[in-house]
Amino acid sequence: QSVLTQPPSVSGAPGQRVTISCTGSSSNIGAGYDVYWYRQFPGTALKLLIYANSNRPSGVPDRFSGSKSGTSASLAITGLQAEDEADYYCQSYDSSLSGVVFGGGTKLTVL
């Protein structure tokens, strides 16, 4: 199982707000390492959505936002759209493992 814990699935209706949690521990998120978020459509390359906890790369809509507190982080998506339906992954670094770690991924379904 993954070092970072994400809910397997979340869902929401168009226009609603959803959040995806990412829970770590004292050797990764809780140790102060930044959290990053990616989106993956089936069969396509992953796309960076959020870097350094809460920053959006150029071109990512402001409907996407990230936050971090303690040993957890969250990705929020407002104004949900059908095209947001995808898998979402969080990522950080773990000092005990001396490597990059990912969450198990969350499948977002737009109802």
Partner 1 sequence: QVQLVESGGGVVQPGRSLRLSCATSGFIFSNYGFHWVRQAPGKGLEWVAVIWFDGSNQYYAGSVKGRFTISRDSSMNTVYLQMNSLRVEDTALYYCARDLGHFSRGSSYFDYWGQGTLVTVSS
Task: Measure CA of the first residue to CA of the last residue in the chain; give whole Å.
Answer: 28
* Least Å from the CB of residue 16 to partner 1: 25
Query: How many other C-beta atoms are found inside a 10 Å radius of the C-beta of residue 3?
Result: 19
Taking the least distance from each CB to partner 1, the nearer of 2 and 69 is: 2
Single-letter code of the amino acid located at 7: P
Whole-number minimum distance, CB 15 to partner 1, in Å? 29
Residue 36 Cβ, how far from partner 1 at the closest point, in Å?
4
The H or E element spanning position 89 is: strand 86-94
Q: Per rule CB under 8 A, is residue 105 in the interface with partner 1?
A: yes
Q: Are 48 and 57 in contact (CB under 8 A)?
A: yes
Considering only residues 24-63, where is the footprint of partner 1 by CB under 8 A?
Answer: 33-34, 36, 38, 43-48, 51-52, 57
Q: CA-CA distance, 28 to 4, in Å (whole number)?
A: 9
List residues binding partner 1 (CB under 8 A). 2, 33-34, 36, 38, 43-48, 51-52, 57, 89, 91, 93, 95, 97-105
